[in-house]
A = this chain, B = another copy of it.
Amino acid sequence: MFNEFESYIRAQANLSDNDIELMRSVAIEKTLRRKECLVRQGDVCRYKIFVTKGLLRAYATRDDGSEHIMHFSPENSWSTDPESLANGTPSNYTIEALERSEVVLWTKNDLRYLTGTITGLKAYFDKLIYAGGNSLRHRVLSVIGSTAEEKYDDFRKNHADILARVPLHMVASYLGVTRETLSRIRRSYIAGK
Contacts and interface: CB of A to CB of B under 8 A. Distances in A.
Interface of A: 60, 62, 66, 68, 70, 82-83, 86, 92, 126, 129-130, 132-134, 136-137, 139-141, 143-145, 174-176
Given A129-B129, A133-B82, A134-B83, A60 B143 contact: no
> How many copies altogether?
2
**Which are the 3 A-B pairs with shortest beta-carbon distances?**
A144-B176, A136-B136, A68-B145
A66 B144 CA distance: 11
Given A129-B133, A137-B136, A176 B145 contact: yes
B141 A140 contact: no
Nearest to A58: B137
Nearest to A87: B134
Contact of A68 (B132, B139, B141): B141
B134 A140 contact: no
Nearest to A129: B129
Nearest to A177: B144
Given A126-B126, A143-B176, A144-B175, 18 more contacts: A60-B141, A60-B145, A62-B145, A68-B141, A68-B144, A70-B137, A70-B140, A82-B130, A82-B134, A86-B130, A92-B141, A129-B130, A129-B133, A133-B133, A133-B136, A139-B140, A143-B143, A145-B176
